[in-house]
Amino acid sequence: MFQPSYINLYRMGKLQEKVEKARGLLKECRICPRWCKVNRLENRPGVCKAGKLPKVSSYNPHFGEESPLTGVHGSGTIFITSCNLGCVFCQNYDISHLGKGYEVSFERLAQMMIELQNMGCHNINFVTPTHVVPQILEALPIAISEGLNVPLVYNTGGYDLVETLQLMEGVFDIYMPDFKFSDDEVAARLCKARDYPQVAMEAIKEMHRQVGDLMINEQGVAEKGLIVRHLVMPNGVAGTRKVMQFLAQEISPNTYVNIMDQYHPCGHARKYPEINRRISREEFEEAIQIAHEEGIARLAN
């Protein structure tokens, strides 16, 4: 019977070591590639606008995620407020940019996990967790002591430091990063992170090293592994071919990839002519064809 990897860490006392190390990273914040170096333990916000405690926008069973996550009873999503990336077109702009949400204690965050598990959710899915990794780790032992025993999902924009991911080894069984752009100029223009493509590639390599290809049980529910999301954008802005080449050649042709078609102009997207429209049917179909051509054998339905 499957058991989340964090249970063993907890029993061996190694989870607490990770908690303490992660807490130390907040003193001169170097959790993500922004390297703000502000003292978040004194509640000073960095680029992500987050301080000492996490903020949560909402939490609920979610049925709009990939089918191996939602299963029958849904994915237990906890939407974290703010973001370390800040894409101008963010589809959750009110949460990531406008700060919709409320501050919660570590105990309350742990209780959210338990409530979602008690609702039957197959996993606990942290949406945009990069900037609150230490806070999640602080809450996790509390949740485990209350009986948490479902996989954790790290649902990220892909702008993650390898060093932080290494600290989380054995904590998250499922990694679900975006790979948004393959061109540094595009990344510089749309999220002020010129190094995004390289950072995302290194992060995805580390994620795959930890958890491997996606493993799905007999009930069709994900237990462990990597899921990569790629949002198709107008006018080839996302650089789909290079993304698929990287995944097929440097990660695994068996990578579970969700090529998404829901892009629409949000936030400040209307200020950028190249992304100020929905994608066409032809653009989406071309992205699917590119994935096949580059050797990706496992596309989400």
Q: For residue 256, list its beta bridge partners.
A: 227, 298
* Pairwise CA distance, residues 174 & 153, whole Å: 5
Tens of pLDDT, residues 62-104: 999 999 999 999 999 999 999 999 999 999 999 999 999 999 9
Q: What is the mean pLDDT of residues 160-173?
A: 97
- Say how many CA atoms lie within 13 Å of 145 toward its Cβ: 10
What does the pLDDT read at residue 66?
96
Percentage of residues of the chain with pLDDT beyond 70? 100
pTM value is: 0.97
Q: Please, which residues have CB within 8 angstroms of residue 289's CB and are 6 or more apart in sequence?
A: none
| pLDDT higher than 80, residue 121 | yes
Confidence of residue 301 (pLDDT cuts 50, 70, 90): confident
* Structural domains of the chain sorted by starting position, each given as residue range(s) with its CATH number in brackets: 5-299 (3.20.20.70)
| pLDDT higher than 90, residue 1 | no
Nearest CA to 70 out of 232, 262, 219, 271 is that of 219
Nearest CA to 204 out of 225, 190, 185, 188 is that of 225
- Which amino acid makes up residue 116? L
